Structure 1
Amino acid sequence: MSSRDQKTPPAPGTPVAPPLEHVATIEVDVDAPITVGATVDGVRRVVPIRGGRVHGPGLTGRVLDVGADFQQYPTPDVAYLVADYVVELDDGHHVLVQNRALRTGSAEDLRKVMAGETVDPARIHFRCVPRLTADEAGPHAWLNRTLFIGTGERSPHGVRIEVFRVG
Structure 2
Amino acid sequence: MEITPTPPSLDFVATIEVAVSETITIGNTAQGVRRVAPIRGGSVSGPQMRGRVLDAGADFQRYPSADLALLEANYVLELDDGHRILVENRAVRTADPADLERMMSGEHVDPSRVYFRCVPALSADESGPYAWLNRTLFLGTGERLAQGVRIDVFRVR
1:86 to 68, 76, 83: 76
* Structure 1 segments of 4+ aligned residues over 2 angstroms from their partners: none
> Partner residue of 2:134?
144
Amino acid in structure 2 at the alignment position of 1:43: V
**Correspondence list, 1:149-160, <5 A:** 149-160=139-150
Amino acid in structure 1 at the alignment position of 2:113: R
| Structure 1 vs Structure 2 CA RMSD | 0.9
**Correspondence list, 1:18-29, <5 A:** 18-29=8-19
Q: Unaligned regions of 5+ residues in structure 1, if any?
A: 1-10
Give, in whole Å, the separation in 2 of the partners of 1:75 and 1:51. 29
Figure out how many residues of one structure are paired with residues of the other and give that number.
157
Cα distance, 1:106 vs structure 2? 0.3
**Correspondence list, 1:12-161, <5 A:** 13-161=3-151
Amino acid in structure 1 at the alignment position of 2:97: A
Give, in whole Å, the separation in 2 of the partners of 1:13 and 1:147. 25
Amino acid in structure 2 at the alignment position of 1:47: A
Percent of aligned pairs sharing the same letter:
64
TM-score, structure 2 length as denominator? 0.98
What do the CA deviations read for 1:73-98 (whole angstroms, capped 9, x no partner)? 00000000000000001110100000
Give, in whole Å, the separation in 2 of the partners of 1:60 and 1:13. 41
| Secondary structure of the corresponding residue to residue 136 of structure 1 | coil
Bigger Rg, structure 1 or 2: 1
Cα distance, 1:27 vs structure 2? 0.4
